[in-house]
Amino acid sequence: MRALVYKGERQVAVEQVPDARIEAPTDVLVRITATNICGSDLHMYEGRTSVEEGKILGHENLGQVIEVGSAVVRIKVGDWVCLPFNIACGFCRNCERGLTGFCLTVNPGMAGGAYGYAEMGPYNGGQAELLRVPFGDFNCLRLPEDAQERQDDYVMLADIFPTGYHATELARVSPGDSVAIFGAGPVGLMAAYSASLRGAAQILLVDHQRDRLRLAEKIGAVPVDANEGDPVERIMELTGGRGADKGCDCVGWQAHDPSGDEHPDMVINNVVRSVRATGTIGVVGVYVPSDPHSPDELGRQGRVAFDLGTFFQKGLTMGSGQANVKAYNRQLRDLIHAGRAEPSFLVSHHVGLDDAPDAYRHFDHRDEGWTKVVLHP
């Protein structure tokens, strides 16, 4: 089969590789028809992770089942399925509680596994013609009859829609809240969209990418342009000096100023400053336990100069981590099917697998208009 393979810093290539196949009786084999490039892929692409050369990338996958293992009972050949980016067993201590982002079975020694991702187990990704899905009965989200026509919406259920939703869940966004969201990438846009679905009264979305801020406006969020001064001051103005009720970090440790210089503590501390006393914060932007390529010593140790004093003084609460996609994707799927959610609004490019390396380049540059790329192997 053909697949997009990691080759080294800012190098990916489409190569002929051995076909993905059923390896365990509980596996399902999926022919991939839509698979996204994610901001998370860029951490690997930029050489900021330990991902090994030869890994097939891609954790936002949708397609049609072409084979099932002998122990698979629920999923059938021909089903259209979307695959949560977390690979989970469904029966461990964490999975039982719905915390499938922290499965204890699929990636021994760590909590959590995923397709095509650094440190997330031996699993290949779906930026390829075929994908092996372990524990297929558990890890396939079956899609309704409009799956094929609405792939652009349903493929967002693999990661960014549930992840954006997770940010608002961690932040406990409730009807009437004001919410400050940092990062208007796909995840931040989905967090804003989710905040709106949850009844937030005011959604403030911060970025310095103007094309992304325009999309924010389209979904009813108030854009806060970080090129035009301190975004926290602007948030204070817009919330009558009180600060937002809730905050979300949808950027993570590769936060940078408008000139591109990285400051790993920039966004998390801006969220702390933006949220009113006793508020709640959801952190889904990624932070890493070590970053050998970080420009500063603290960063190399995976540490961040966090304003714990302000956090404590304000009595804030914070939740973080990988999204437990399974906890939300069925409900979000039904919102899409019912016509009440259309996460495809952020798709900017449809690309064949051969053009994926070029698409990686554009998305990594945050080139104007490259919001979300869907690959069609």
Ligand X SMILES: NC(=O)c1ccc[n+]([C@@H]2O[C@H](COP(=O)([O-])OP(=O)(O)OC[C@H]3O[C@@H](n4cnc5c(N)ncnc54)[C@H](O)[C@@H]3O)[C@@H](O)[C@H]2O)c1
Task: List residues binding ligand X (CB under 6 A).
Answer: 38-40, 42-43, 159, 163, 182-188, 206-209, 212, 226, 250-252, 255-256, 266-267, 284-286, 322-323, 366
Query: Of ligand X, Zn ion, none, which one does residue 103 interact with (CB within 5 to 8 Å by kind)?
Result: Zn ion
Q: Which residues are bridge partners to 132 per DSSP?
A: 29
Residue 207 touches Zn ion, criterion: CB under 5 A = no
List the one residue out of 134, 171, 127 whose CA is nearest residue 351: 127
Question: Measured from the CB of residue 317, what is the shortest distance to ligand X in angstroms?
Answer: 18
Q: Which of 130/215 has CB closer to ligand X?
A: 215
d(CA 3, CA 209): 31
Determine if residue 152 is left, alpha or beta; phi over 0 gives left, psi from -120 to 50 gives alpha, anything else beta. alpha
Question: Counting runs of H as helices and runs of E as strands, what totals does the chain give?
Answer: 13, 17
Ranked by CB distance to Zn ion, the top (closest) residue is 38
Query: Of ligand X, Zn ion, none, which one does residue 7 interact with (CB within 5 to 8 Å by kind)?
Result: none
57 vs 12, 65, 104, 277, 349, CA distance in Å? 9, 20, 22, 41, 18
Q: Which of 272/353 has CB closer to Zn ion?
A: 353
Q: Which of 40/239 has CB closer to Zn ion?
A: 40
Question: Measured from the CB of residue 41, what is the shortest distance to ligand X in angstroms?
Answer: 8
Residue 111 touches Zn ion, criterion: CB under 5 A = no
Structure letter (DSSP) for residue 101:
G
Q: Which of 65/180 has CB closer to ligand X?
A: 180
Alpha helices in 256-365 (DSSP H): 266-274, 297-300, 308-313, 329-337, 356-364
Determine if residue 339 is left, alpha or beta; phi over 0 gives left, psi from -120 to 50 gives alpha, anything else beta. left
Question: Measured from the CB of residue 116, what is the shortest distance to Zn ion in angstroms?
Answer: 10
With contacts defined by CB under 5 A, name the span among 82-90, 133-141, 204-212, 341-349 that binds Zn ion.
82-90
Choose which of 27, 79, 153, 159 interacts with Zn ion (CB under 5 A): 159
Rounded to 5 degrees, φ, ψ at 99 are -95, 60
Query: Of Zn ion, ligand X, none, which one does residue 95 interact with (CB within 5 to 8 Å by kind)?
Result: Zn ion
d(CA 78, CA 284): 34
Residues 155, 58 contacting (CB under 8 angstroms): no
Chain residues 251-310 in contact with Zn ion, contact rule CB under 5 A = none
Q: Which residues are bridge partners to 83 per DSSP?
A: 61
Question: Measured from the CB of residue 214, what is the shortest distance to ligand X in angstroms?
Answer: 12
Question: Measured from the CB of residue 364, what is the shortest distance to ligand X in angstroms?
Answer: 9
d(CA 204, CA 275): 12
Query: Of Zn ion, ligand X, none, which one does residue 63 interact with (CB within 5 to 8 Å by kind)?
Result: none
Residue 38 touches Zn ion, criterion: CB under 5 A = yes
259's tokens? 């000139």
Residue 139 touches Zn ion, criterion: CB under 5 A = no
Residues 246, 319 contacting (CB under 8 angstroms): no
Question: Measured from the CB of residue 297, what is the shortest distance to ligand X in angstroms?
Answer: 21
State which H helix or E strand residue 202 sits in: strand 202-207
Query: Of Zn ion, ligand X, none, which one does residue 92 interact with (CB within 5 to 8 Å by kind)?
Result: Zn ion
User: For the chain, first and last CA: distance in Å?
Assistant: 10
Question: Measured from the CB of residue 93, what is the shortest distance to ligand X in angstroms?
Answer: 20
Question: Measured from the CB of residue 164, what is the shortest distance to Zn ion in angstroms?
Answer: 11
**Gyration radius (Cα) of the chain, Å:** 20
Q: Which of 29/204 has CB closer to ligand X?
A: 204
Q: How many residues bind Zn ion (CB under 5 A)?
A: 10
Q: Which of 88/332 has CB closer to Zn ion?
A: 88
Rounded to 5 degrees, φ, ψ at 57 are -85, 170
Contact positions vs Zn ion (CB under 5 A): 38, 40, 60, 88-89, 92, 95, 103, 105, 159
